[in-house]
Each structure stands twice: as structure tokens, then as C-alpha cells.
Amino acid sequence: MSAAARPPAGSRARVVTVSDRAYRGVYPDRSGPLLASGLAALGFAVDPPRVVPDERERIEGALREAVAAGVELVVTTGGTGLGPRDVTPEATDAVLERPIPGLAEALRCAGRDAVPTAVLSRGLAGTAAGTLVVNLPGSTGGVRDGLGVLAGVLAHAVAQLRGADDHGSVPGHGPAGTGG
């Protein structure tokens, strides 16, 4: 990835894994660490993933905490399917102020050729305050496909949330991503 495609200096990301079984320790969280590693490779400072159960209030709380902390990006993994406890989109919708439907659609389309059921993901994407919020499926394959889509848009999205114009300049800060 070129330096021009990296997010602005100091950009932080948070990963929230939504899984009853990982939360209870039935099995280790695999998608969260993979997602955190991928976001770090894209230039974000990322803390270890936070694992929450498939409970709307807990998911919504984790998202609101990230927004309140001023994190530029929060990405969830898990809870986007059709199961009765898959409530990540509903929790996310309660937090979002501005939806980004094109990003959610691109994420669904990314894996559909290899995994036709990828189109069943109900994940959302949008913004809340200055935070970009994105839902990914809970599988490692879904996370890999999602990172492939996000890699091409995150730097621009975060720069715009920080006030950059269409040319990447943040008023008073030089070109986006240069810190100067």
C-alpha cells in the first residue's frame, strides 16, 4: 500500500468481535485478531479486539464507547447473518447518523463469487460523529474480503471525516495523511 493511501497520522481503529461462543471462551476469537492485524497493516493504531456477546445493548454500548473516545474507525466482525441472535446491524443502526449504503453493498459483493451466501450478510456502514462504523461477517474469509474492499477507501473516508476537501487537504494541515 502506498503512503498516499494511508490514513491521516494518528488514526485509531477499534475492532469489536460479536460472538456468544468466543465471549464465553468456547473457542478463540479468530476474526477479531485477523481484522486488527489487517487494519494495523493499513496504517491504523489498533488495540486488541473487544469481544462482546450477541446482545444488542452490549454491541451498541461498545460502538458508542468507540465514538465517544473519538476513534476514527470501528469495525465489527460477527452477528450480521440471519440467525435469531444476529443483531449487530440493529445495534449499529441505533448508533449511525449517516449511512453509507454503497460501502455495505461493496462489502457484500466482495465475496459473493466464492461464497454465494455472502449476499445474506445484513451488515451496515455509516458514520457517527467523526467515526466511520463498518460491520463485517464473523468468518475469517469475510474479514479478508472486507479488508480488501476497505483498503481502497479507508484513508479517503477518514480524511474526509477530519474535514479534508476532495483533493485530500485538511484545512490548516497540508495534504491529508502527511501530517504537515
Distances (CA, A) of 120 to 10, 85, 167: 35, 15, 36
Mind listing the pLDDT tens digit for each residue in 150-175?
Answer: 999 999 999 999 998 655 544 444 44
Bigger pLDDT: 57 vs 112: 57
Is 54 in contact with 79 (CB distance < 8 Å)? yes
% of the chain residues with pLDDT over 70:
89
Mind listing the pLDDT tens digit for each residue in 68-92?
Answer: 999 999 999 999 999 999 999 999 9
Amino acid present at 23: Y
Asked if residue 178 has pLDDT above 50, the reply is no
Q: What is the pLDDT of residue 166?
A: 57
